[in-house]
Chain A
Amino acid sequence: MSENSLTRCRPLLGTFVEISLKGVSDRAQLIAYSILAFDEIERIHHLLGFHNPDSELTRLNKKLLSAPLKDQPLSIDMVNVLTLALTIHQQSLGFFDVTIADNLINTKLLPNHFGHIDNCVGNSADLTLTHNTISSKSPVCIDLGGIAKGYAVDCALALVPSSVRCTINAGGDLKSNDWQNQWVHVKYAQRESALRKKKMLQQAVATSGTYYHDDHSAIINPITATEHKFKGCVSVFSSSAMLSDALTKAVILMPSNQAKKLLRVYNAHAILTNRFGFSRTIR
């Protein structure tokens, strides 16, 4: 049987999700794998999406806003994402924090399903995960926009057999089971020619920048509770798209020496590309 390939793109997770498949399978089989992967991304989108008023995240946020909350049961997907989010919060000395949804609601980058959000005084340090349940000491509002896209990519890729070469890209959060000798174009500014070709250093890469937002930045500094705008972008290569996705935000905000320590903990590489396309690697 000859080698076939398929590339599909669907609007999911609030962005464009591309799935590329290549392998010695017939086209119908590749379509079936792509459906499997898209269905998984759609499932996580419905579970962890902030925009959806019926998602598990929205239901959890409603409860967290009336904290203190004790032993609220969570799905395994929510546990997976929050476990890494809380660990990186600790490792990054608070520069990565998922409890910044109230800031994004205030700048209208996220919808308000809750009415009053003025009481969000807590942060990730107030949250505890124990045996698939969450407890909170103070009211918080969680947005997983900085980590869940990567998680969806990891979960979807895990469903595709390794005999099929597959790359999944969800709005810049990209993972491939065939990353060796592959290249990725890092987009560092809004104009279409602002691309820099980089060799894939690990299985997954994620890039963050604020160049698509004219008015308000979606990157919030959790320590000062202010939005952070910068020119250029940060790309992080690591073993998982979820990890890369989360680390980009921490690396953008952290002082360089602290960012280096954090990247070393996770054996990750970061590439900072400025608005002129000049880049440097942090490791």
Chain B
Amino acid sequence: MQRRGFIKGLLLTAAGLSLPVKVASAKTFLTVKESQDILFPNQVLTKLNVTLTEEQADAIADKSDTRVRNLKMNVWKSADGGLFIADQVIGKHENIDIAVGLDAAGKVTGIEVLTYRESYGEQVMHPKWRKQFHGKDQSEHLLLDEQIKNISGATLSCRHITDGINRLTQTWDLVLKAL
């Protein structure tokens, strides 16, 4: 009997280990292009090449109290001096791609969540994520897993987005307003 129980346990453990591991559940809302059309309707946006220096990143981190993870920024400029920034915020429970509109005075005109993922660190490895920010495939939604339509759960704080927006407004003040 003991031996049978042991074999049963062993088989169950093996079955558990061989189960496919879910990588990440993602919710995709808008593409970069769609969010540009909402935040800057009927405006032509020009892509800018912005790469922060280490010194600039340190200064932004000091002022916003938030770490600057990517030196290369995805920034577009409108004819009236507004800026569209596609960025990423990494929180405790989630990774979020956001789009932020700033007017010529650096005031936030709109924030859109583009993609929301609950696992940690997957997006950096994922080529599609980078691709959509480089204008190559803006019409394609990033689909990492089956989209679950409605989720009702305990309220998740969006504090990391607030921190991310603060970092971007400091970036505007220190670097982007001069462009």
Contacts and interface: CB of A to CB of B under 8 A. Distances in A.
Contact of B152 (A12, A210, A235): A235
A44 interface: no
Nearest to A219: B154
Contacts of A187: 151-154
B153 A209 contact: yes
B156 interface: yes
Interface in B152-169: 152-159, 161-162
Interface string B107-146: 0000111001011000000000000000000000000000
Given A205-B152, A207-B153, A8 B30 contact: yes
Given A9-B113, A31-B38, A193-B22, A207 B152 contact: yes
B150 A174 contact: yes
A195 B118 CA distance: 13
A276 to B, nearest CB: 16
B148 interface: yes
Judged by DSSP, the binding face of A is strand
B34 to A, nearest CB: 9
B93 A14 contact: no
A192 B111 contact: no
Given A16-B113, A20-B149, A212-B93, A172 B30 contact: no
Interface size class of A (residues with CB under 8 A): 35 or more
A10 B157 contact: no
A233 B38 CA distance: 36
A169 B113 contact: no
Nearest to B28: A7
Interface string A152-189: 00000000000000010101111010000011111110
Given A185-B148, A192-B24, A211-B154, 17 more contacts: A9-B29, A9-B112, A9-B113, A11-B111, A11-B113, A11-B158, A15-B157, A18-B27, A18-B29, A31-B38, A169-B151, A173-B155, A192-B22, A192-B119, A209-B153, A210-B154, A218-B155
Nearest 7 CB-CB pairs, A to B?
A187-B153, A209-B154, A171-B155, A9-B113, A11-B158, A192-B118, A207-B152
19 contacts: A7-B29, A7-B30, A8-B29, A9-B116, A10-B113, A11-B113, A14-B159, A15-B155, A31-B38, A171-B155, A172-B152, A174-B152, A182-B150, A183-B149, A187-B152, A195-B151, A208-B155, A210-B154, A212-B154
Interface of B: 22, 24-25, 27, 29-30, 38, 93, 111-113, 116, 118-119, 148-159, 161-162
